[in-house]
């Protein structure tokens, strides 16, 4: 045999190769497409757990008893491509004698012989590898499904190159459909501006000083949806303690975070309402007991006194106490009515109409004070509200602005409305004497709380205003500076 014939084998060499193949548990099969004759090597039987001759060696037996029905099309397709000159590889399941169906890799080729075209192939058992691949694929699918349900994605940064890699779910949270390759600065640019420096510092500290982090920040997706996300990063260290990879999770916690914020807001409101209820109960108890005690004392004096002048004077005191008691009962009744009228009386009303009604009632006071009142309801002309409440709010704040005007200047009162999203705001701003919020801020809306020794002050107006506003789900905020003025910002709904 010449050197150029070194790639050819004699008949004895082929037989020897076949024996080697049999010993390494590779099965060889052969099929003559003209005569339909089938041959299986001893290794073919061994691969399936049989001895030669133990099962029928035929085309029909292979397809009807050995080949898994679901893999027939794939196997036939591979033999078809073989006839076109290709050498396809296909994975099929064959029924073994002891272990049920197992995975085999089938490599097929076509060879023309004197007896006609022959298709032959080699089978190798890949069941262990295939089962492992299937388990890995199932685990990856399960992890991906868990990540999708929990809205958790993964990511990692190569500390040497700062290359950033995202999982599919992380791209989903970013709302990036094309899954582009993005850099760390590009990823950070998705976060709201106030959190970008925080996240940048966390990543730098994790890589430089191996410090893990776990933070909750606001994030704007590619579709401009602003959501709360949780970012957690854990450094992966080498044998010298240096960070080589920063690996972490990225979780959409928007619904959880907003529920928590709403719950905390409700708890704060409930706590505040409880305090006001306790305050109200204290006021009721204290005031009624005070009136009752004074009244009883005066009645006793009246009964013990025999002089007409004394009895007349005592009776005038009894009358005063009675009127005060009646006023107190009226105030308490008004507070109770606020809560009982929440569910009725709402309707769409014009701010300007309500203001004009109040201005008409307070016309004399406004004129006497020389007040300049600037109104601007263009930002939100209407609201769905209880008219009596809005009228009361206007009246109390306007009365206060005039009552507490600065002695050195005429009152200038600015009133306007605006909307932020679906929330409606009413703003009252004056240039009066202001309130020392550091000293009186906690008592500002308390019942019968007064701070300027004004004889007309009864400390009931702001208490009622706050109850009316909060009864309908709103809130009231005060900004004030002594000798400068006061600004009430009221979120009505």
Q: What is the pLDDT of residues 356-405, one digit of tens each?
A: 988 888 888 888 899 999 999 999 999 999 888 888 899 889 988 998 89
What gap in Å lies between CA 99 and CA 48, rounded to an integer? 9
**326 pLDDT tier (thresholds 50, 70, 90):** confident
In this prediction, residues 19-48 reach a mean pLDDT of: 82
Distance in angstroms between the alpha carbons of the first and the last residue of the chain: 100
Q: Is the pLDDT of residue 6 over 50?
A: no
What gap in Å lies between CA 358 and CA 371, rounded to an integer? 14
Q: Is the pLDDT of residue 218 over 80?
A: yes
Q: Which residue has the higher pLDDT, 278 or 251?
A: 251
Question: Given the structure tokens 């950070």, which residue do they identify?
Answer: 188
Helical ranges in 50-167 per DSSP H:
59-61, 72-83, 127-150
Q: What is the pLDDT of residue 283?
A: 63
What is the per-residue pLDDT across 68-84, written as a single tens digit (0 to 9) for each?
999 999 998 888 777 67
Q: Is the pLDDT of residue 8 over 70?
A: no
User: Which H, E and C letters describe 373-386, residue by residue?
Assistant: EEEECCCCCEEEEC
What gap in Å lies between CA 216 and CA 231, rounded to an integer? 6
Rounded to 5°, the CA angle 420-423-426 comes to 90
Q: Which residue has the higher pLDDT, 398 or 266?
A: 398
Q: Any residues with CB less than 8 A from the CB of 114 and at least 6 apart, and which?
A: none
In this prediction, residues 300-326 reach a mean pLDDT of: 86
**453 pLDDT tier (thresholds 50, 70, 90):** low
Q: Any residues with CB less than 8 A from the CB of 382 and at least 6 apart, and which?
A: 348, 349, 350, 351
Q: What is the pLDDT of residue 127?
A: 92
Q: What is the pLDDT of residue 286?
A: 66
What gap in Å lies between CA 428 and CA 416, rounded to an integer? 7
What is the per-residue pLDDT across 471-480, written as a single tens digit (0 to 9) for each?
788 889 999 9
In the DSSP assignment, the letter for residue 447 is: T
In this structure, are residues 248 and 155 in contact, taking their beta carbons and an 8 Å threshold? yes
Residue 179 CB neighbour total at 10 angstroms: 13
Helical ranges in 305-386 per DSSP H:
308-340, 351-361, 363-369
């Amino acid at each position: 045999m010449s050197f150029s014939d070194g790639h050819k084998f004699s008949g004895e060499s082929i037989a020897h190769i076949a024996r080697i193949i049999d010993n390494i548990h590779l099965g060889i099969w052969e099929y003559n497409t003209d005569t339909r004759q089938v041959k299986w090597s001893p290794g073919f039987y061994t691969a399936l757990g049989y001895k030669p001759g133990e099962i029928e060696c035929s085309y029909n037996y292979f397809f009807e008893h050995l080949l898994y029905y679901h893999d027939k099309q794939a196997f036939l397709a591979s033999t078809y491509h073989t006839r076109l000159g290709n050498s396809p590889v296909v994975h099929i399941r064959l029924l073994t004698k002891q272990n049920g169906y197992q995975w085999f890799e089938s490599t097929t080729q076509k060879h023309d012989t004197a007896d006609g075209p022959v298709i032959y192939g080699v089978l190798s058992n890949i069941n262990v590898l295939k089962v492992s691949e299937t388990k890995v694929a199932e685990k990856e699918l399960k992890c991906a499904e868990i990540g999708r349900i929990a809205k958790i994605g993964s990511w990692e940064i190569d500390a040497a190159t700062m290359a950033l890699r995202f999982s599919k779910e992380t791209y989903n949270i970013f709302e990036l459909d094309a899954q582009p390759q993005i850099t760390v600065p590009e990823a950070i640019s998705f976060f709201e501006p106030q959190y970008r420096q925080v996240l940048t510092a966390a990543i730098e500290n994790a890589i430089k000083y191996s410090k893990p982090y776990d933070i909750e920040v606001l994030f704007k997706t590619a579709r401009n949806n602003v959501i709360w996300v949780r970012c957690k990063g854990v450094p992966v260290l080498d044998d010298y303690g240096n960070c080589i990879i920063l690996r972490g999770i990225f979780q959409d916690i928007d619904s959880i975070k907003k529920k928590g914020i709403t719950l905390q807001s409700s708890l704060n409101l409930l706590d505040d309402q409880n305090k006001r209820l306790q305050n109200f109960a204290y006021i009721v108890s204290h005031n009624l007991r005070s009136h009752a005690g004074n009244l009883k004392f005066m009645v006793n004096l009246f009964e013990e006194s025999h002089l007409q002048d004394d009895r007349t004077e005592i009776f005038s005191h009894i009358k005063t106490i009675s009127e005060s008691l009646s006023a107190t009962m009226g105030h308490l009744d008004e507070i109770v009515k606020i809560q009982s009228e929440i569910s009725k009386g709402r309707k769409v009303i014009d701010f300007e109409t309500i203001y004009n009604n109040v201005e008409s009632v307070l016309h004399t006071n406004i004129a006497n004070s020389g007040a300049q009142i600037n109104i601007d309801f263009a930002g939100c002309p209407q609201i769905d509200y209880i008219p009596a409440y809005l009228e009361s709010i206007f009246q109390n704040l306007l009365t206060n602005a005039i009552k507490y005007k600065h002695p050195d200047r005429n009152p200038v009162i600015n009133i306007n409305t605006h909307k932020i999203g679906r929330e409606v705001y009413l703003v009252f701003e004056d240039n009066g004497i202001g309130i020392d919020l550091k000293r009186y801020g906690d008592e500002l809306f308390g019942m019968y709380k007064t701070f300027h020794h004004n004889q007309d002050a009864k400390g009931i107006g702001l208490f009622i205003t706050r109850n009316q506003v909060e009864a309908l789900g709103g809130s009231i905020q005060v900004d004030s500076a002594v000798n400068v003025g006061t600004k009430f910002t009221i979120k009505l709904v």
